[in-house]
Amino acid sequence: MATAATTSAAAIPTAGGGGRRQHHHPRRPGLRPRHLHRLRLPAQAAAAAAASSPSTSSSSSSSSSSSTPAEGGGRLVAELVGAFNELTGRMGDGLATSSSSRLLFRALKLALPALRDGDGGRALARALAVAASLADLQMDAEVISAGILREALDAGAISMRDVKYEIGISTAHLLHESLRLKHAPSKLDVLDDESASALRKFCLSYYDIRAVILELALKLDMMRNLDCLPRYLQRIKSLEVLKIYAPLAHAVGAGNLSLELEDLSFRYLFPHSYDHIDQWLRSQETENNLLIDSYKKQLLQALKDDDELSQIVQDISIQGRYKSRFSTMKKLVKDGRKPEEVNDILALRVILEPRCDGSSLDWGPRACHKTHEIIQAMWKEVPGRTKDYVTRPKENGYQSLHVAIDVSEPGKMRPLMEIQIRTKEMHKFAVGGEASHSLYKGGLTDPGEAKRLKAIMLAAAELAAMRLRDHPASDQGDSNCTNRAFCQLDKNGDGRISIEELTEVMEDLGAGGKDAKELMHLLDANSDGSLSSDEFEAFQRQIELMRSLDDKDDRYRKILKEKLQTIDSAGLIQVYRKQLGDKLLVS
Ligand SMILES: Nc1nc2c(ncn2[C@@H]2O[C@H](COP(=O)(O)OP(=O)(O)OP(=O)(O)O)[C@@H](O)[C@H]2O)c(=O)[nH]1
Ligand SMILES: Nc1ncnc2c1ncn2[C@@H]1O[C@H](COP(=O)(O)OP(=O)(O)OP(=O)(O)O)[C@@H](O)[C@H]1O
Ligand SMILES: [Ca+2]
Ligand SMILES: [Ca+2]
């Protein structure tokens, strides 16, 4: 499937199976891609671009009066290269193989002209934001490309046929799946808990799991732009997200994406309650965090001072946390409790490491129960709220002993505190096993199902890796490529971007050969008629500078980097990432 790197520029086929430029984008007069309005091109370029910029077009010297080909064409290429660099940078070295780079470059070339004028000029930024989310989740180039193209597809600016022939069958398949998924909620008459749970399981079982992740990134984009919809639609969409997509994000291990989905949907669904919870939790946050710290120390000391416990455990650690707005809100919405009735606003977790005394005796359960007794002697346990999953594990194998504690003092009401007591081994299972936190939060508590999904994810990653892996024999042209964008433009791999190569990409972007000549003229510092990698890098530096200055359209750059760091290493996304990375390394 890889393109032969030594083919001459004029005869290069697209790796999507031929049919190149069946779809030609007519040049749009007066187009002004947004990212590029502050671009300063090197030396002569800066002057020429300024002279031809629409705001100073009266002094235009080198172009015809109505259009600004050098600037317009240059901007298109700059936008293409900037987006490409951004995404491959986010993907990480292991995933950005040459096959992946080629795929991504083609997708951007197809999407850019189709999107740049859409949605009041925001369509392109939105498509790139979706792509950035997917790259941050370490999805492969097929998924990222599908993310870029979906917006163009929805807008009717490209067709599925374009994707199939110009990009490839796998990306088209992903898009097809994501469109089926888009309509999945309409299968339900009522969006109650039971039907939402059934629909989530259906999505995970019967759709390509990479399409599910793509759909999640698209939902995040939708939620971030919900203001532009009428109020009733905002609520319908928010409810769908809350019931279906946020738990799905939890289930696949994209925990922080889920948190953002929950956050946004809560705000739209229950703005007043949201403010109320926010205020209530915020007003006591400092005090409660201090309390948690102090209880943690007190409890640790009491446990260490106990003779029996000291004999059977070799290590004790305690974690504490204050509940988040969204998690609190979710509990309230789930069963109509008041904030004061949520029993884990304050929370501690005791993790015990039993001694190995050489015998086959497991001291774990005794250590948990002894810890429980010590807690009962220190604080007031709320009757009827204790759950002993140590003696009777949950169906998914989860083990832990939970107690609710009332820490109020005379004249001072306080929220309830949950204490979870478990051994190190039980904890490991609760974090990474089939009772993993992500599956629990995603409502997937059936261990058989968890195992099956993991197997599906592994298989999907293996298949994608087969398509995207580098094949040394056919990839010689860019196997030692240090500048990925340059290599995409230098199609014949001779180390220079010729005018033919530049013209080809400009035509794909909807600009003409004249634009290519003018751009070459601007960038070709030593006037030898082609671009060296140094000359191209100078152009790239300008692009970077411009992008870092452009805060208005820069939304997709800053979003998920830290937010999408995932919570537990056993989530399906993590399984996929690891398998894909491992397989891509095997050449
Ligand atoms: N990882 C993991 N954590 C779990 C699981 N089940 C429960 N937990 C944790 O234990 C906490 C309390 O769970 P339960 O004691 O079953 O209480 P609950 O009925 O869900 O919640 P309340 O109605 O608030 O008492 C949850 O909030 C989780 O933090 C599980 O299957 N896996
Ligand atoms: N008792 C506890 N002590 C310390 N950390 C906890 C405790 N309970 C939950 N956590 C951690 O706090 C983080 C947020 O959990 P959160 O309170 O949103 O959900 P949860 O308690 O796991 O589930 P639920 O929605 O059923 O309350 C998770 O990392 C979780 O492991
Ligand atoms: Ca070349
Ligand atoms: Ca040159």
Per-residue pLDDT tens, the chain, 587 aa: give them: 333 333 233 332 333 333 334 444 433 333 333 333 333 344 344 333 333 333 333 333 333 333 343 456 677 888 888 889 888 888 866 676 778 888 999 999 999 988 887 776 688 889 999 999 888 888 889 999 999 999 899 888 899 999 999 999 889 999 999 998 888 777 776 777 777 787 777 777 777 788 988 999 999 999 999 988 899 999 999 988 988 888 888 888 776 788 889 888 888 988 888 888 888 888 999 999 999 999 999 999 999 999 999 999 999 999 999 998 878 887 887 777 887 788 999 999 999 999 987 776 789 999 999 999 999 999 999 999 999 999 999 988 899 999 999 999 898 889 999 999 999 999 988 887 666 766 776 666 676 766 767 676 677 777 777 777 766 555 544 556 678 889 888 988 898 999 999 888 888 888 777 788 888 888 888 889 999 988 888 888 888 777 666 554 445 444 444 444 444 556 777 777 777 777 777 65
What distance in angstroms lies between residue 297's CA and the mean position of ligand 1's atoms? 24
CB of 399 shorter than 6 A to ligand 1: no
What is the DSSP code (8-state) at residue 226? Answer: G
List, for residues 530-561, the tens digit of each pLDDT value: 999 888 888 888 887 776 665 544 454 444 44
Helix or strand run (H / E) with residue 352: strand 346-354
What distance in angstroms lies between residue 207's CA and the mean position of ligand 1's atoms? 29
What distance in angstroms lies between residue 418's CA and the mean position of ligand 1's atoms? 10
So what's the pLDDT on residue 69? 38
Is-contact 61 518, C-beta < 8 A? Answer: no
Cα 106 to Cα 425: distance, rounded to the nearest angstrom: 48
* pTM, to two decimals: 0.69
Q: Is 12 exposed, middle or buried (0-12, 13-18, 19+ CB in 10 A)?
A: middle
Q: How would DSSP label each residue in 89-139? A: HHH-TTT--HHHHHHHHHHHHHHHHHHTTSGGGTHHHHHHHHHHHHHHTT-
CB of 57 shorter than 6 A to ligand 2: no
What distance in angstroms lies between residue 420's CA and the mean position of ligand 4's atoms? 67
Closest CA to 402 of 449, 350, 439, 359: 350
Task: Kindly provide the ipTM of the predicted complex, given to two decimals.
Answer: 0.95
The two tokens of residue 448 are 């058989």
Q: Indicate which ligand has the atom closest to the C-alpha of 536.
A: 4
The two tokens of residue 337 are 């409790």
CB of 52 shorter than 6 A to ligand 1: no
List, for residues 248-284, the tens digit of each pLDDT value: 888 887 767 888 898 888 889 888 888 888 888 889 9
What distance in angstroms lies between residue 496's CA and the mean position of ligand 3's atoms? 4
What distance in angstroms lies between residue 564's CA and the mean position of ligand 1's atoms? 24
Is-contact 268 234, C-beta < 8 A? Answer: yes
Mutate to test the pocket of ligand 1, among 328, 437, 439, 567 (most ligand atoms within 8 A of CB): 437
Instruction: Give SS3 for 381.
Output: strand
Give 399-402 contacts, CB < 8 A, sequence gap 24+: 399/423, 399/426, 399/429, 399/430, 400/426, 400/430, 401/368, 401/369, 401/371, 401/372
Domain positions in the chain are 286-430
In whole angstroms, how far apart are CA 289 and each of 342, 417, 581? 17, 12, 40
Amino acid at residue number 453: L
Specify the pairing of strand 380-381 against strand 346-354.
unpaired
CB of 579 shorter than 6 A to ligand 1: no
CB of 434 shorter than 6 A to ligand 2: no
Using the atom order of ligand 2, give the atom closest to the CA of residue 349.
3
What distance in angstroms lies between residue 534's CA and the mean position of ligand 4's atoms? 9
Cα 492 to Cα 484: distance, rounded to the nearest angstrom: 14
Amino acid at residue number 198: A
CB of 296 shorter than 6 A to ligand 2: no
CB of 347 shorter than 6 A to ligand 2: yes
Q: Indicate which ligand has the atom closest to the C-alpha of 397.
A: 1
Q: Between 3.10.150.10, 2.30.130.40, 3.30.460.10, 3.40.50.11900, what CATH number should domain 286-430 receive?
A: 3.30.460.10
CB of 389 shorter than 6 A to ligand 1: no
CB of 476 shorter than 6 A to ligand 2: no
So what's the pLDDT on residue 471? 60
CB of 430 shorter than 6 A to ligand 1: yes
Angle between helices 169-182 and 141-154 (to 10 degrees): 60
Amino acid at residue number 383: P
CB of 556 shorter than 6 A to ligand 1: no
CB of 435 shorter than 6 A to ligand 1: yes
What distance in angstroms lies between residue 471's CA and the mean position of ligand 3's atoms? 21
Q: Indicate which ligand has the atom closest to the C-alpha of 330.
A: 2
CB of 321 shorter than 6 A to ligand 2: yes
In whole angstroms, how far apart are CA 111 and each of 151, 220, 226, 245, 491? 9, 20, 23, 26, 20
CB of 321 shorter than 6 A to ligand 1: no
Helix or strand run (H / E) with residue 70: helix 69-91
So what's the pLDDT on residue 73? 64
Bin 40: left if φ > 0, else alpha if -120 < ψ < 50, else beta: beta
Instruction: Give SS3 for 562.
Output: helix
Is-contact 468 103, C-beta < 8 A? Answer: yes
What distance in angstroms lies between residue 85's CA and the mean position of ligand 3's atoms? 19
The pair phi, psi for residue 319, each rounded to 5°, is -105, 150
Mutate to test the pocket of ligand 1, among 340, 392, 402 (most ligand atoms within 8 A of CB): 402
Cα 4 to Cα 18: distance, rounded to the nearest angstrom: 13
Is-contact 135 146, C-beta < 8 A? Answer: no
CB of 34 shorter than 6 A to ligand 2: no
